[in-house]
Structure 1
Amino acid sequence: MAKENICIIYGGKSAEHDVSMLTAQNVLNAIDKSHYHVDIIYITNEGDWKKKENITETISSTDELDLQDIESGDISRLLLETHNQEPYSAVFPLLHGPNGEDGTIQGLFEVLDIPYVGNGVLAASSSMDKLVMKQLFAHRGLPQLPYVSFLRSEFEKYRSNILKLVNDKLQFPVFVKPANLGSSVGISKCHNEEELVEGIQEAFQFDRKLVIEQGITAREVEVAVLGNDYPETTLPGEVLKDVAFYDYKAKYQDGKIELSIPAKLDEEVQQTLRDMAVEAFKATDCSGLLRADFFVTEDNQIFINETNAMPGFTQYSMYPSLWENMGLSYADLIEKLISLAKEKYEDKKKNKYQID
């Protein structure tokens, strides 16, 4: 039986480039190469696309995935010219942040009519933009903490008014976040107005729009969602920290994060979290995968924090670990996501594009 063609895309013009490289290493080492002819496309920090075909070896370091010495290629040609002229059964974008999980590359796949793993244009873009996400959650009736959002140009013009708004509507500590970034890049926990101004300036290095959220004393709990029209969920997992703030360095460099899977919660709370995760999945019209993040207070109040349409996907990240706890191995999870991508593509083909 001939192998199916699969293409894994990683890197990207994003502050989360290195996280993507690590994810790609993990997926490449787990994917069933006896079943798939695996090509890779590396997107450099400058946005150049470089392709290497038929990856069969184990990747021992992300340095092996840095294809700087390979000549850049035309994007559409790299995606459409395949082994034995058989189209890709699916492409697997392992891209985090802008230009990867924000709907832009998903739009390219749609135009080229290529099946792809994960969320579509709308789900990816709305899950990436924290303000739009919050507005959709509110429409669905999901409980959230208070927040304020504004643009860089607005802060430059109305700085004193905006600082007053934050002080009037929120209580310190607050979290300042770029609206369109993940992996805790550019996020600050601020305890006073001086730190707030510094946090705003930091966040505006990464995006023109930011969100400032009310801080809360609560447990940080996450639920993984998998599926298309009828999604399934995992038992919740909890993030246990040796640091005051679960930032990028703590997540990926210091190893100061411990995951408790499943989280020690009442069964009723667990079920509520799983139900809310499905509501969040539907609120943003997701497909394939989603991780929903929540706050749970000491008296079991639940607030949705955010969702991630392309969650951390290294072998030991929360999302795969939650499914491992449910009996779905990392390799089988990859296989399931590819299957869901093909299912979504076949369903889309049922649409009519001409009027009889």
Structure 2
Amino acid sequence: MDSQPAPQTESGRTTVALVFGGRSAEHAISCATAASVLRAIDRDRYDVVPIGITREGRWVQVADDPARLEITDGRLPEVPDSDSTVVLPLGTGSNLVTVTEPGEVPRALSEVDVVFPLLHGPFGEDGTIQGLLELADIRYVGCGVLASAAMMDKAFMKAVFAGAGLPIGPYTVITDLQWQRDRAAALDAVHSLAFPVFVKPARAGSSVGITRVDDPAELVAAIEMAREHDPKVIVEAGISGRELECGVLGGHGSGSPRVSEVGEIVVGGEHTFYDFEAKYLDEASVALSCPADVPDTVRDEIQRIAAVAFEAADCEGLSRVDCFLTESGEVLLNEINTMPGFTPYSMYPQVWAASGVSYPELIDELITLALERRTGLR
């Protein structure tokens, strides 16, 4: 059933709930993202309701104070626990969010027109909160349930890409059952790849739990480390070349998706790849070149692949598409991130800034896209 455009409050502003934190290993990064959005969102157009999810999964009301949520001097922020719990309406006909406290009558927090889920990793980016918001009949920014779930799982992501005829690199998947039942066969599959390989949790992001393995003797330890974050592991053959990224915006009712300029990550210092510390704790070691210094034919191919991958995965709103440019000049699709890093210094906002869309404008456009899109089947 089609939904009508979201109403505005008596103030004339649309109410946006920012949801952040969460149970994944990317909790702190989600908080830092929320701090950036709180600072940049247009307060003349939007009333903002910050809602944090603690590491244990409790939904709590959080002060509208970005300073408490930023990464400062290497300190990683987190959502503080509380005795109160934020509750969404579970059904159509109401968009009133309430707060419950032990021994108290539930109180109204705010009516919410749209949710901006700034969650990375499992229990947020993977279709779980998207499903909850669909049940609540509340519009939300970003991809729907299926695209979020499939693109969070790198094994299913690769299958979608291959089915769409998109170029991908060699890889193998190690499920929990395979690792427990026949470890030797799982290791044999990895050894069929060319080293170095990258061992990753299948359903994590922000480079959490990833190891570059040059020596096969270090493989088991790398797999066990990835399994600390996810019992399902993907191992990818290392690609010798350059890492290039492209932002995608729009989808579904907004027409053909728009693609950004192509950016390139250059990692220096002691980092052998774009790991967690390089991304968030040692920014001086990372440089972004945008537009990337590549031939027009390569730029056009990356933008084409980004748009095709976005639509093949049934993505909506936003995604960042990561590619490799091999030494032979071939473009390989690496992955899609349906809720990419979203601070002003993250790749996704930066490639759009280089394309003429500022950070506040990007926030506004994503909210507008969400308000225009109905919930339910579409």
Q: Under a length normalisation based on structure 1, what TM-score does the superposition of the two structures give?
A: 0.92
SS in 2 for 1:119: coil
Task: Name 1:225's counterpart in structure 2.
Answer: 248
- Report how many residues are paired: 345
Q: 1:34 to 1:84 in 2, by over 3 A?
A: farther
The root-mean-square deviation of aligned C-alpha atoms, in Å, is 2.1
Alignment of 1:247 onto 2:275: yes
Contact 1:148 1:166 in 2 (8 A): yes
Q: CA deviation at 1:185?
A: 0.5
Q: CA deviation at 1:264?
A: 0.4
Residue 29 (structure 2) aligned to one of 19, 29, 47: 19
Equivalent residues in 2 for 1:33-182 (5 A)?
Answer: 33-52=43-62, 55=64, 59-62=66-69, 68=80, 70-76=82-88, 80-81=96-97, 87-167=111-191, 169-182=192-205
Alignment of 1:309 onto 2:338: yes
Q: CA deviation at 1:155?
A: 1.2
Residue 227 (structure 2) aligned to one of 160, 180, 204: 204
Q: Distance in 2 between matches of 1:123 and 1:349?
A: 14
Q: Distance in 2 between matches of 1:338 and 1:219?
A: 33
Q: Distance in 1 between matches of 2:151 and 2:20?
A: 19
Q: CA deviation at 1:88?
A: 1.9
Structure 1 alignment gaps of length 5 or more: 352-356
Q: 1:25 to 1:156 in 2, by over 3 A?
A: same
Contact 1:128 1:180 in 2 (8 A): yes
Q: CA deviation at 1:67?
A: 5.2
Structure 2 alignment gaps of length 5 or more: 1-10, 72-76, 99-106
Q: Which moved further from structure 2: 66-75 or 313-322?
A: 66-75
* Larger helix percent: 1
Task: Name 1:354's counterpart in structure 2.
Answer: none
Q: Which moved further from structure 2: 83-92 or 128-137?
A: 83-92
Identity %: 44
Deviation digits for residues 219-247 of structure 1, max 9, x if unmatched?
00000000022210011100001121111
Task: Name 1:216's counterpart in structure 2.
Answer: 239
Q: Under a length normalisation based on structure 2, what TM-score does the superposition of the two structures give?
A: 0.87
Deviation digits for residues 28-48 of structure 1, max 9, x if unmatched?
000011221111111000111
Contact 1:88 1:115 in 2 (8 A): no
Task: Name 2:292's counterpart in structure 1.
Answer: 263
Contact 1:228 1:344 in 2 (8 A): no
Contact 1:236 1:270 in 2 (8 A): yes
Q: Distance in 1 between matches of 2:140 and 2:89?
A: 16
SS in 2 for 1:20: helix
SS in 2 for 1:236: strand
Q: Distance in 1 between matches of 2:117 and 2:258?
A: 22
Deviation digits for residues 227-281 of structure 1, max 9, x if unmatched?
0222100111000011211111111111221111110010111011000001110
Q: CA deviation at 1:213?
A: 0.6
Q: 1:205 to 1:84 in 2, by over 3 A?
A: closer
Structure 1: 4+ residue segments shifted above 4 A: 63-67, 82-86, 348-351
Residue 292 (structure 1) aligned to one of 321, 324, 333: 321
Q: Distance in 2 between matches of 1:176 and 1:327?
A: 36
Q: Distance in 1 between matches of 2:195 and 2:249?
A: 36
